[in-house]
Structure 1
Amino acid sequence: MTKTQEFFPRHAIVTASDSGIGQATAWALADAGLDVGITWHSDEEGAQRTADGVRERGRHAFLARFDATQLERVPRVIEDLAGELGGLDVFVNNAGGGSGGPVLDVSIDDWRQVVGLNLDGAFAGMQTAARLMVDADAGGRIVAVTSVHEHQPRVTSAAYVAAKHGLGGLVKTMAQELGEHGITVNAVAPGEIATPLTDQDAEDAEHTHRPGVPLGRPGKPEEIAAVIAFLASPAASYVTGASWAVDGGMLQMGPQAGSHLTSDDWRKG
């Protein structure tokens, strides 16, 4: 029999929560009543802003520098943050990113860097979080931020696409294995979101036209955070192994785009 007790989340860790989707997620979870562990890689000032926002919402915030590519150190950072929080009920793997290039030109070093960040580091973090949740025996929520490219490719992004496809598979397998412990594992797959990663600010979303997206614009970080907060909540108790595309309908445009493209410019990325 699988665990079915009530789930009452109080403690969350959100990796790469110094800006963008991670920052919005930390604030959304604080709004839901959770204390939040915040990680940053290079933007400590941004992480402090995130922490200030969590505290303004009446919750506790703890910070740690985190490099998902330093695999031997990943467990310790997460374990220490969980210790400061007093437990770990929700883990959001948001750290990711990476450069691209034509597959014929990608070096092995570049490939390993991108896959290491987006897949190896995600595995190390999610495994550590799962072990803590199983030991606590109180259920849990694990959410991986993937990408629409978990589902569909993009030219000049072979390593990133491969890593996100792999992360989607990891989510599904973890969902199968952890269900008996009352732990759900899901993915959120953003489309284009107005964040520093796309060289945009959140307010740019309302003023940027995207003809190829049914909703006609990029998304806002808080629109991703809202879905993550749902998946982290007691209300999502019967949702696991799923990937939630939050993309304004972008993924529905494949055949439409194929028949309406008027040049070969897409081949250049």
Structure 2
Amino acid sequence: MTVAVVTGADSGIGRATAVRLAESGMDVGITWNTDEEGARRTADEVRAAGRTAAVARLDLTALPDAVQAVDALADGLGGLDVLVNNAGTGTSTPFLDIDHATVRTVLDVDLGGPFLCSQHAARRMIAQGRGGRIVNVTSVHEHQPKVGAAPYCAAKGGLGLLTQVMALELAEHGITVNAVAPGEIATPMTGQEDRDVRREERPGIPLGRPGDAREIAAVIAFLAGPDASYATGASWVVDGGMLRMGPQAGSRLTSGDWRRP
């Protein structure tokens, strides 16, 4: 695998993944939506690892035309072997209060965008004739619900099943498709980027802390590399044990605060 495209690589998990893939020997296409400066900082880190970087804007609320950015990056880098669908968004709005426009935006960015990006990438991989890797970044909320996140959970759950369908249909072309489902990770989305996760206490998580973006990037890099050649159609949960706490956490709650986003 020599060329990867990582969507939403201007910060957080996307940036950590782009750098990790560069360190493993890949040239990397980097997309951004609102933070061009952040994307260029990621590109600088990729180049510091000795690899080629290219940057393009990808606004997944402007489907389907926006997905042409994936093709443009692949053209500029000379091919496409790995696609990481990392770009995403979410809400913290009660189900009864959320408006249709917000629902549509979340579904487009978190589900429609990865669907179309994967189509473009897979067609290119098939034409190249050397297989490929697609990794969809979902969430623990691919598997379990969260109050105030109805469209986000719907999109991530859908992306999890889409991953399985893609894995079945693309296997004959040597393309593997997996999901990585992070728990609470120290990123801009959770307001924790650049914090030392070892100093953050999370009593409800068995490992006792949030995750670092680089811990997610390591799993993505494994799935994008040669050692994962027989792994496809799975969701790789990386959450410090969070999902295992369902009944245990429920039995220990002391207030109804969980009902509010």
* Fold in common (TM above 0.5): yes
Write out aligned runs for 1:141-160 (5 A): 141-160=133-152
Q: What is residue 192 of structure 2 aligned with on the other side?
A: 200
Aligned residues: 261
The unaligned stretches of length 5 or more in structure 2 are none
User: Residue 266 of structure 1: which of 232, 253, 258 is its match?
Assistant: 258
Q: Identity percentage over the alignment?
A: 62
In 1, Cα distance between equivalents of 2:20 and 2:96? 41
Q: What is residue 73 of structure 2 aligned with on the other side?
A: 81
User: Residue 118 of structure 2: which of 126, 144, 147 is its match?
Assistant: 126
User: Residue 83 of structure 2: which of 88, 91, 94 is its match?
Assistant: 91
Q: What is residue 51 of structure 1 aligned with on the other side?
A: 43
In 2, Cα distance between equivalents of 1:248 and 1:202? 19
Whether 2:208 is the aligned partner of 1:219: answer no
Moved more, 95-104 or 182-191: 95-104
Q: What is residue 168 of structure 1 aligned with on the other side?
A: 160
Is the Cα contact below 8 Å between 2:67 and 2:113 reproduced in 1? Answer: no
Moved more, 246-255 or 204-213: 204-213
User: Residue 12 of structure 1: which of 4, 8, 13 is its match?
Assistant: 4
TM-score, normalised relative to structure 2 = 0.98
What is the CA-CA distance between 1:258 and the residue it aligns to?
0.8
Q: What is residue 231 of structure 2 aligned with on the other side?
A: 239
Q: What is residue 3 of structure 1 aligned with on the other side?
A: none
In 2, Cα distance between equivalents of 1:75 and 1:258? 41
RMSD, matched Cα: 0.8
TM-score, normalised relative to structure 1 = 0.96
In 1, Cα distance between equivalents of 2:205 and 2:33? 31
User: Residue 26 of structure 1: which of 18, 25, 29 is its match?
Assistant: 18
In 2, Cα distance between equivalents of 1:78 and 1:201? 26
Is the Cα contact below 8 Å between 1:187 and 1:242 reproduced in 2? Answer: yes
Is the Cα contact below 8 Å between 1:100 and 1:159 reproduced in 2? Answer: no
Whether 2:15 is the aligned partner of 1:39: answer no
Is the Cα contact below 8 Å between 1:74 and 1:124 reproduced in 2? Answer: no
Whether 2:105 is the aligned partner of 1:113: answer yes
